Structure 1
């Protein structure tokens, strides 16, 4: 049995660091001892009310610091100390985070300057202080009009009245599920999918139904079989640069999926953070089937996740109003100053400039990854900020994550994304958080070396 009761250390803005600091504090206070086993990651996530990705990242960081070690099949244990009080195995090299799917911050984009300058300009304008007041839960008329302009590239003739602003894609996803599904209802999704959907399903008591996937993403025949067997209320899909697999649904396949959804009366949640990064994006599902599609477009991957701005295109104004009512109950509203900043960046072209710079940096980092990882079995989109890597036969994902963590590199195993029993021996590597290309290259070379080793021999690397 575990002897540790999870808690979050105060003063840490990032929850995963709060978990690590709590572990270290309890170690130093003697509340847990070397050799103690920590609770399973899923249990910690449930107890602390965080998603599994956060706990996985915390465990990777704790391993990097040498606080804990993972033992395949047995769990995660507190490490022994050296005579001088240090924990065994703590690496001297700094951590490289390949776990969080954050866009890179290119040198050409100075957000440290752009954000305060734009806010200062907005507040100095006539009626600018209204951006510090309460506003409608849908977002202001001007912000929805700006969103419509930005969204027209993927959804022609989108109406501002059908648009609702949300506090990021995660809040949008929760609110849509609250509108459309009751506890016990089924949601169909790829057999590996965005962990945020898993968190929403757990909170709402929804049943996730895994769909088979191939290099193009969800297989239409699998979706239809699910409709016959499970009668899902919703289909969740990331049609462009899927997270985690990087697959992009072809236009023909999108039409097939739409036809099946119409046949069985299934609403579609089109989570679309990445198509704006593609140089030649395909027709959106919302453009094909606006009457059944809820389209989520966030700024988190094409600008910065710090703004917490997502635009939801509902099938019509009435359903947009229903969604706004849920957002009002949960978040009240999007911070008006953030929404106004996003609108200004849309109007001035700054958002386009940032997106292009991020796309260019993604392309450069994907080239680095392809060169560094060599013969590894990789799926990637040249414009995306992550890649999906199938491990060679000698490796299990859990073991590889452990060894990468000992080398100061955090990665995410397929188990974090899996729904159902099938968990491929695979990893998602996110290329955006590494501070520069040199740090990224060094981390990827280390991973390439690990991939080439027998899993047992990798212990000698530490």
Structure 2
């Protein structure tokens, strides 16, 4: 059996910080991506020191730091184990508030509409048809609906180049498997969706972070990499980026696409949040249509359970190749879910739901601005997550603060989960959509604000 920490050897060589600080980051990263799970046993100090070619003292310091962050437990005579979810204290509502998973809010007024549309779909369908195998990549009707949805961002979208996928993550698995062989490299921002990190690790693909500024990855850094070590693809989450909420400007998109065109590097444009803003710069696919694989989905627009994504490939031939990859990795999307998505796109429910979610997101962002202070964090008024820098909070790391918030019933995600260069900023991602209502959202934000305002509370024991 291979060691759960063997891949740390390579990661430690890439991270620009002392090993005793890097190892806790790697534990947190592996927890976020699912490579490590609560109650997994880690190697003993001497075994890990031998495996990583480090001295015993360094590994002992690393485990001590990880315990301080609440990532590990040690049991005399049993070993060292990954710690599970920290027990939370009940809030006034009686349960913890989920702000880790980036899900849209759920407008209460739409519950009846959703029940009615699902019932109408079942009444009008052959139920056994929904239990049978479907066309790989979607039926013509489902592809047509997908093309209509994509035309909001890609006016020239053709259904011939569209695939219907069981969620964006599965589309990314197919794309990475097609574009990058094991050992090859994909470049991306220094902060990225944790799923792309997990996919790359699973498929043996290297990720190379590009230097960035306040507007995102630098085009000249992309070009320098293309000259020395041509990447198999450039991965980008350009609109309301997860986690930083950054939207790349028109100029930056154009510059990055220009480099991709000059060096013939395929672009994976993960535009999961693209439909939320009323206005956004043109998609990268509009600057480099012959190179860009554009994917967006419905889970970030309506709800995580609606695992339907639409992927546009540059050509019909490439679309068919990707359909084969999807068949190998996921077989097909759920027929009922896809039929529901097609119905929503065609009858206007999708647009009405999107408008309602934008409205609810605006209301929750207004609460965040009032409670946390406008300018204290990065966000978009029509998005449902925020990026909260915590520099100066008593010298604590983001992972330590996340642990303290969990002890108070608030679940947020520390920056290490998103870092691709091993040097995460001191920040938290907070999702506003997971709270059941605005009152619960405000209560959670007030606890966060109180913790930030009075960092000495972090030193208090949780009873």
The TM-score bracket by the shorter chain reads: 0.7 to 0.9
Report the Cα distance in structure 2 between the residues aligned to 1:106 and 1:78, rounded to whole angstroms.
44
Report the Cα distance in structure 1 between the residues aligned to 2:334 and 2:450, rounded to whole angstroms.
46
Where does 1:7-406 land on structure 2 (aligned, <5 Å)? 51-52=33-34, 71-72=67-68, 75-77=71-73, 91-93=89-91, 94-110=95-111, 113-125=112-124, 129-374=128-373, 377-393=376-392, 394=394, 395-406=396-407
Report the Cα distance in structure 2 between the residues aligned to 1:97 and 1:73, rounded to whole angstroms.
20
Under a length normalisation based on structure 1, what TM-score does the superposition of the two structures give? 0.81
Contact 2:302–2:353 (CA<8 Å) still a contact in 1? yes
Q: Which digits, 9 at most, give the CA deviation of each residue in 1:33-59, with x for residues without a partner?
A: xxxxxx97966997x9x8249959x9x
User: Offset at 1:227?
Assistant: 2.0
Task: Name which of structure 1's ranges 348-357 and 370-379 shifts more when overlaid on structure 2.
Answer: 370-379
Going from structure 1 to structure 2, the CA distance change for 1:180 and 1:100 (only over 3 Å counts) comes to same
Q: Which digits, 9 at most, give the CA deviation of each residue in 1:332-355, with x for residues without a partner?
A: 111112111111100100000111
Q: Which digits, 9 at most, give the CA deviation of each residue in 1:144-199, with x for residues without a partner?
A: 01111111121112111100111100000000111111011111111011000000
User: Offset at 1:236?
Assistant: 0.7
Going from structure 1 to structure 2, the CA distance change for 1:127 and 1:52 (only over 3 Å counts) comes to closer
Q: How many residues align?
A: 401
Report the Cα distance in structure 1 between the residues aligned to 2:428 and 2:36, rounded to whole angstroms.
16
Q: Which digits, 9 at most, give the CA deviation of each residue in 1:94-131, with x for residues without a partner?
A: 21111110101012221xx4445334323333656433
Under a length normalisation based on structure 2, what TM-score does the superposition of the two structures give? 0.81
Contact 2:97–2:409 (CA<8 Å) still a contact in 1? yes
Going from structure 1 to structure 2, the CA distance change for 1:406 and 1:264 (only over 3 Å counts) comes to same
What secondary structure sits across from 2:435 in the alignment? coil
What secondary structure sits across from 1:389 in the alignment? strand
Report the Cα distance in structure 1 between the residues aligned to 2:361 and 2:430, rounded to whole angstroms.
13
Contact 2:274–2:296 (CA<8 Å) still a contact in 1? no
Contact 1:187–1:235 (CA<8 Å) still a contact in 2? yes
Contact 1:156–1:287 (CA<8 Å) still a contact in 2? no
User: Offset at 1:250?
Assistant: 0.8
Report the Cα distance in structure 1 between the residues aligned to 2:382 and 2:205, rounded to whole angstroms.
33
Contact 1:209–1:226 (CA<8 Å) still a contact in 2? no
User: Offset at 1:229?
Assistant: 3.2
Report the Cα distance in structure 1 between the residues aligned to 2:27 and 2:265, rounded to whole angstroms.
33
Partner of 2:430: 429
Report the Cα distance in structure 2 between the residues aligned to 1:261 and 1:128, rounded to whole angstroms.
46
Going from structure 1 to structure 2, the CA distance change for 1:243 and 1:115 (only over 3 Å counts) comes to same
Task: Name which of structure 1's ranges 98-107 and 330-339 shifts more when overlaid on structure 2.
Answer: 330-339
Report the Cα distance in structure 2 between the residues aligned to 1:90 and 1:384, rounded to whole angstroms.
27
Task: Name which of structure 1's ranges 224-233 and 365-374 shifts more when overlaid on structure 2.
Answer: 224-233
Partner of 2:454: 453
Report the Cα distance in structure 2 between the residues aligned to 1:126 and 1:289, rounded to whole angstroms.
40
Going from structure 1 to structure 2, the CA distance change for 1:445 and 1:241 (only over 3 Å counts) comes to same
Contact 2:185–2:205 (CA<8 Å) still a contact in 1? yes
Contact 2:90–2:96 (CA<8 Å) still a contact in 1? no
Report the Cα distance in structure 2 between the residues aligned to 1:236 and 1:76, rounded to whole angstroms.
33
Report the Cα distance in structure 1 between the residues aligned to 2:201 and 2:90, rounded to whole angstroms.
39
The runs of 5 or more residues in structure 2 that have no matched partner are: 1-22, 41-64, 76-85
Report the Cα distance in structure 1 between the residues aligned to 2:102 and 2:359, rounded to whole angstroms.
17
User: Offset at 1:429?
Assistant: 0.5
Contact 2:88–2:408 (CA<8 Å) still a contact in 1? no
Report the Cα distance in structure 2 between the residues aligned to 1:77 and 1:214, rounded to whole angstroms.
38
CA-based RMSD of the aligned residues comes to 2.7
User: Offset at 1:207?
Assistant: 0.7
Contact 1:399–1:455 (CA<8 Å) still a contact in 2? no
Contact 1:41–1:55 (CA<8 Å) still a contact in 2? no
Going from structure 1 to structure 2, the CA distance change for 1:408 and 1:78 (only over 3 Å counts) comes to farther
Partner of 2:418: 417
Report the Cα distance in structure 1 between the residues aligned to 2:115 and 2:255, rounded to whole angstroms.
46
